[in-house]
Chains A and B, each alone.
Chain A
Amino acid sequence: MQEQEAPAFTEESDIAVTVNGHHYERRVPVRLLLSDFLRHELHLTGTHIGCEHGVCGCFTVLLIGDAVRSCLMLAVQAESMAITTIEGMAGTNSDLHPIQQAFMEKHGLQCGFCTPGIIMSVHAMLHDKPDPTDEEIRHELSGNICRCTGYQNIVEAVKLAAERLRVSQSEMEMD
């Protein structure tokens, strides 16, 4: 094999990421988790930390549109990627996203700790499956644990959100 000049190992790295449409550049320790980067460096504390090993789901964010666990990624791995967190869901006038609105109306939350992660998962799910069945909703949300609601109202909220998003989508297509 040809001798290679391998890249050097580092303990810190410069990263540039886009979060909720804003561009950020920071120098971070390589061991910093993406979840801690969002919360401590960018002060976006809407992304919650539960178990910190990928089980509870409340740290779910969108990475280039796909739902991922921000506590199972290093911040340095998000280099030059676009991330959406719960703070990026509401519109510019703080009007709620249709998914958030549906969760409010259907009482899809009680303490609300798990809600940011669930909203992000629902956002990704409805992108893939705009008209999910109850069973599909429960299956797709099985990676998000809620200890208050018993999930019933969460399923109701997702169905309402799906319906409204479908309507607004077809209105957009007619325009």
Chain B
Amino acid sequence: MKPPRFQYAAPRLLDEALTLLDQYREDVKILAGGQSLVPLLNMRLAGPSYIVDINHISELQYIEPEDGYLAIGATVRQRQVERSALVQEQLPMLVEAVQHIGHMQIRNRGTVVGSIAHADPAAELPALLTCLNGEVLVQSANSERVIKAEEFFTGYLSTALEAGEMLTEVRFPWIPPQAGWAFMEFARRSGDYALVGAAAVLTPALDDRCMVAHIAYLGIAGAPVRAHAVEDVLVGTMLDDATLDSAAEIARTVVSEDMSDVHATTEYRRVLTAELTRRVLKAAWERRQP
């Protein structure tokens, strides 16, 4: 259980890192917090020839409120977000999602952007970013582009990132002040990968009916899933029991057919997804500010 041989560089400037990525394209991996890459190296599931360690790039170390979203740079650790007074006050949903990640020892090293780039379908932050309809900033030696979460996560551990590109910033949209939100998951043990998780944001209108609904899931398909079909039945309602029942029923059908594994069958995940939908919507709705 030791990493295979590789070549290592730790640039101090983003431009240097992008140049290296451009030069070595297919055979290079970025090392940030290392909480996913290093286990993969140890188990020899990954064996890149080159590793670019971005931890020394200080220009990527920022948590910055912007017009419309909170920007987080690529070297910001999950623990920093958890401890940030700014995030606690202005985007507490992100703090709650982060606290579901692994254990504190993992969050002390793991980065927010790294979790998004790794795109584990059972991970919290990809689901949150999808729920909030957030974006990522992707840079390469010659260009940069902004990608919507739903287009970024393309499948199991797969993203729209191309060779030579680096995810440098994640943008979590602000939640409207009157909206209620909740983040929940089912895990067998504290800190384990969740079997299923859900993130919901519900914005009430002046008549206290649901005006905008966002709900996304983790662990139910190869990528995080935003369930527009569930959202549609919520809009215009007051989240009464009958509405929650039909939302839960639709949520069952959103679970991908091939989700049976050693931890749970697809059918069990469907049951969990339905119940979690009910609970997360209820909790989010109770938190709204009419």
Binding site for B on A (CB under 8 A): 1-2, 4-11, 13, 29-31, 33, 36, 51-54, 57, 60, 63, 66-69, 71-74, 76-77, 121, 124-125, 138-140, 142-143
Measured between beta carbons, the chain B residues less than 8 angstroms from A57 are 103, 105
Q: What is the CA–CA distance of A137 and B18 in the complex, to the nearest angstrom? A: 43
Q: Is the CB of A77 within 8 A of B55?
A: yes
Measured between beta carbons, the chain B residues less than 8 angstroms from A66 are 79, 108
Q: What's the tally of chain B residues with a CB closer than 8 Å to chain A?
A: 45
Q: Is the CB of A54 within 8 A of B190?
A: no
Q: What is the CA–CA distance of A33 and B3 in the complex, to the nearest angstrom? A: 8
Q: Is the CB of B103 within 8 A of A30?
A: no
Q: Is the CB of A10 within 8 A of B8?
A: yes
Q: What is the CA–CA distance of A2 and B18 in the complex, to the nearest angstrom? A: 12
Measured between beta carbons, the chain A residues less than 8 angstroms from B4 are 31
Instruction: Give the top 10 A-B pairs by smallest Cβ distance, nearest first.
Output: A143-B103, A9-B7, A30-B8, A52-B1, A142-B190, A53-B39, A66-B108, A142-B191, A31-B3, A72-B38
Of chain A, the residue at the smallest CB distance from B16 is A6
Beyond A36-B2, A67-B108, 12 additional contacts (C-beta under 8 Å) are A1-B15, A13-B8, A30-B8, A31-B5, A33-B38, A53-B42, A53-B43, A74-B31, A74-B53, A140-B104, A142-B189, A143-B104
Interface members, chain B 73-116 (any A CB < 8 Å): 79, 102-106, 108-109
Q: Which of B6, B34, B35, B103 contacts A77 (CB 8 A)?
A: B34
Q: What is the CA–CA distance of A106 and B17 in the complex, to the nearest angstrom? A: 51
Q: State whether A73 and B6 are in contact (beta carbons under 8 Å apart), knowing that A53-B1, A67-B105, A139-B190 are contacts in the complex.
A: no
Q: Is the CB of B42 within 8 A of A77?
A: no
Measured between beta carbons, the chain A residues less than 8 angstroms from B9 are 6-10
B141 interface residue per 8 A CB criterion: yes
Q: Is the CB of A71 within 8 A of B42?
A: yes
B50 interface residue per 8 A CB criterion: yes
B13 interface residue per 8 A CB criterion: yes
Q: What is the CA–CA distance of A75 and B256 in the complex, to the nearest angstrom? A: 41
Q: What is the CA–CA distance of A159 and B102 in the complex, to the nearest angstrom? A: 23
Best-buried of A54, A71, A140 by chain B (most CB within 10 Å): A54
Q: What is the CA–CA distance of A67 and B79 in the complex, to the nearest angstrom? A: 11
Of chain A, the residue at the smallest CB distance from B53 is A77
Q: What is the CA–CA distance of A54 and B42 in the complex, to the nearest angstrom? A: 10
Inter-chain contact total with CB atoms closer than 8 Å: 123
Q: What is the CA–CA distance of A68 and B34 in the complex, to the nearest angstrom? A: 11
Looking at the assembled complex, report how far the CB atom of B197 sits from the nearest CB atom of chain A, in whole angstroms: 17
Q: Is the CB of A63 within 8 A of B108?
A: yes
Q: What is the CA–CA distance of A48 and B39 in the complex, to the nearest angstrom? A: 17
Q: Which of A51, A77, A140, A143 contacts B106 (CB 8 A)?
A: A143
Q: What is the CA–CA distance of A58 and B43 in the complex, to the nearest angstrom? A: 18
Q: Is the CB of A69 within 8 A of B50?
A: no
Measured between beta carbons, the chain B residues less than 8 angstroms from A68 are 105, 108-109
B161 interface residue per 8 A CB criterion: no
B11 interface residue per 8 A CB criterion: yes
Looking at the assembled complex, report how far the CB atom of A30 sits from the nearest CB atom of chain B, in whole angstroms: 4
Q: What is the CA–CA distance of A40 and B258 in the complex, to the nearest angstrom? A: 44
Q: State whether A11 and B8 are in contact (beta carbons under 8 Å apart), knowing that A4-B19, A6-B20, A143-B106 are contacts in the complex.
A: yes
Q: Is the CB of A4 within 8 A of B15?
A: yes
Q: State whether A30 and B6 are in contact (beta carbons under 8 Å apart), knowing that A54-B106, A121-B105 are contacts in the complex.
A: yes
Q: What is the CA–CA distance of A6 and B141 in the complex, to the nearest angstrom? A: 12
